[in-house]
A and B are shown apart, each in its own frame.
Chain A
Amino acid sequence: MSLLSIRNMKTDIGQYAVLHDISFEVPEGGVFVLLGRNGAGKTTTLRSIMGLWTPSPGSVQFRGEDISALHTAEIARKGIAYVPENMGIFGTLTVDENLILATSNGRFDPARLARIHALFPALERFRDKQAWSLSGGQKQMLSVARAIIEPRALILIDEPTKGLAPAIVDAMAEAFREIAQTTTILLVEQNFAFAKSLGRDMAVIDDGRVAHTGTMADFVADTTLQHRLLSLSL
């Protein structure tokens, strides 16, 4: 059984139908990458899974349970974390407060906190700083750290490398590799080199529909398919 199963998901935003027919299966473990051109519906897919937009009934199954009608907070409590495109940190709170918000009992597990500090040393240096004062890369690290401060079954990550310096992108890739050893990641990414280095399985979304699903290795090997679906070569 897949960890996450999306079946014929449709999502309307206001009067506009944004997702017409999204279906894919995210297996447990590793990184599943969603690719697609700008405006294809990748972010809407993540937001619909998270309940931030309302998907069509019965279209989102998590561990075999229909979560399409659940409230966002309940979906989060099922063990799904969301790292949005704009990082989604709370600027007026300190780094530690941002992290502690995502814990279930208001306390840090020292081992997990140590692991996060090992992954992102800047977050240890700036523990008491208000998050608005961090750099873009540090904010992204904080956003990811918040998603892993407690064990999660699935992390939805939306374009984590957007606007980041290459050195930070490399650090982020290392961090994701380590996180993916214990947690499943559903990653939306436009940086194809980054996506290729991490992804095991993948899907391509085009105009609100899934245009292709398969393994990343097969997709990388098929340049014709890449050109047809993304107008780019990996």
Chain B
Amino acid sequence: MITSDTRHTTGTLVIKSVVALIAALLLFAPFLFQDVRSLEVAARICIFIVLVASFDLLIGYTGIVSFAHTMFFGFGAYGAAILLKQMGPGWTPVLLGALAGVAVSLVFAVAIGLLSLRVKAIFFAMITLAAASVVLVLASQLSQITGGEDGIIYKSPDLFKTATKLLTDADGKVVRLWDVKLNGKLAAYYFVFITSLILFLAMLRFVGSPFGTVLKAIRENEARAEAIGYRVVAYRTAVFCLSATIASLAGTVYAVWLKYTGPDTALSFSIMIDILLMVVIGGMGTMWGAVIGAVLLILAQYYLRDLMGAASEALTGVPLLPELLAPDRWLFWLGIIFILLVYFFPRGIAGTMMTGRKGA
């Protein structure tokens, strides 16, 4: 007989195996997928896993709905971008930018947290939305500092230049490993991969700690958590600060990888919507869900168009289908896929499979 428990155990095993496979693919991505676009997708996946997981600390583990997550991501990105532009390429501006981003994020997180985490969830969500909107407008308006709508283009540290040779042979040529040049681009990818991995593992450890257990208890019932001795506002503020710090660091890493920071790449609400979709698809309250959600949505965003174009071509001559599968309709199909995922996995893919329960 298949019980909820066996589904739970099997589902957990499947999800963890899939995540291990994704981790392996990301680890060897430069060697497995040797084109620029694929490497761009892999790096984006790494960063968004961290960003989504840090958002899940709020919405999934603590039950806090915030729309300010891209604001913190933007602080980290702009911190590094402004200093790299002002000071030139090097590690000092990256480190100082990361610190500045984290410091500003903490100031905002503490202020928003202490002032508004006592109020009802909907008011808190509105306050974060207002704060994020103000920062987005400011970033667009303060063009002397932020580059305005055009953003900032800068150089990343020399180690990450494509021309940088990590290893050279006797002739002074860059060494190739499995036909991949060991150059600065590879170093930049592994900088993204390793920092993302460290941040993700830190979050994984955090949610498994007693502090993480308290957060889950608060999510389930605030009054009960208070009744066993936990100051809910203090815990919620602390996790809001932690989440903001990690989002800010993810922003810094993204800025170093992209060598461009602007409102569209660091602060826009479309990023916030992507994060929300990734959390919902992957499953709230599980770090593994962030991995699944980020991978699926980013792959869909980058490759669904191509896939539909190929399908449309293959079905030439069949009535209606080529038009339905025209690449321009990719957002429509993405919406259909999203609705189906929510229908069949109401707690998200990882959430549904790992708990063995469909209902909330």
Contact = CB atoms under 8 A, between A and B. Distances in A.
B213 A100 contact: yes
B176 interface: no
B229 interface: yes
A97 interface: yes
B220 A73 contact: no
B214 A101 contact: yes
Interface stretch (A1-9, A58-66, A74-82): A74-82
Contacts of B210: 100-101, 106
B224 interface: yes
A77 B227 contact: no
B217 interface: yes
B194 to A, nearest CB: 30
B228 A146 contact: yes
A93 B216 contact: yes
Nearest to A50: B227
Contact of A88 (B4, B209, B221, B229): B221
B6 to A, nearest CB: 13
Contact of B224 (A77, A90, A100, A133): A90
Contacts of A76: 226-229
Contacts of A224: none
B327 to A, nearest CB: 42
B323 to A, nearest CB: 46
Interface residues of A, number: 23
A2 to B, nearest CB: 22
A234 interface: no
Contact of A90 (B4, B220, B226, B231): B220
Given A100-B213, A101-B213, A133-B4, A91 B220 contact: yes
Given A100-B210, A106-B210, A133-B4, A93 B227 contact: no
A70 B18 CA distance: 49
A77 B214 CA distance: 15
B333 interface: no
B227 A52 contact: yes
Given A90-B221, A106-B210, A73 B216 contact: no
A90 B217 CA distance: 6
B217 A73 contact: no
Contacts of A72: 223, 226-227
B230 interface: yes
Contacts of A81: 228
Contacts of A231: none
A88 B132 CA distance: 37
A26 B285 CA distance: 42
Interface centre among B224, B229, B230, B232 (most CB of A within 10 A): B229
A77 B216 contact: no
Interface string B203-243: 00000011001101100110111111111100000000000
B231 A88 contact: no
Contacts of B214: 101
Given A100-B210, A101-B214, A92 B220 contact: yes
A227 interface: no
A115 interface: no
A112 interface: no
B220 A82 contact: no
A84 interface: yes
Nearest to A71: B231
Nearest to B217: A90
A176 B220 CA distance: 28
Contacts of B227: 50, 52, 72, 76, 82, 84, 88
A31 to B, nearest CB: 20
Given A52-B227, A73-B230, 12 more contacts: A73-B231, A82-B227, A82-B228, A84-B227, A90-B216, A100-B210, A101-B217, A101-B225, A101-B228, A102-B229, A104-B229, A133-B4
Interface of B: 4-5, 209-210, 213-214, 216-217, 220-221, 223-232, 285
Interface of A: 50, 52, 71-73, 76-77, 81-82, 84, 88, 90-93, 97, 100-102, 104, 106, 133, 146
19 contacts: A52-B227, A72-B226, A72-B227, A73-B231, A76-B227, A76-B229, A81-B228, A82-B227, A82-B228, A84-B224, A84-B227, A88-B221, A92-B216, A93-B216, A101-B213, A101-B217, A101-B228, A106-B209, A106-B210
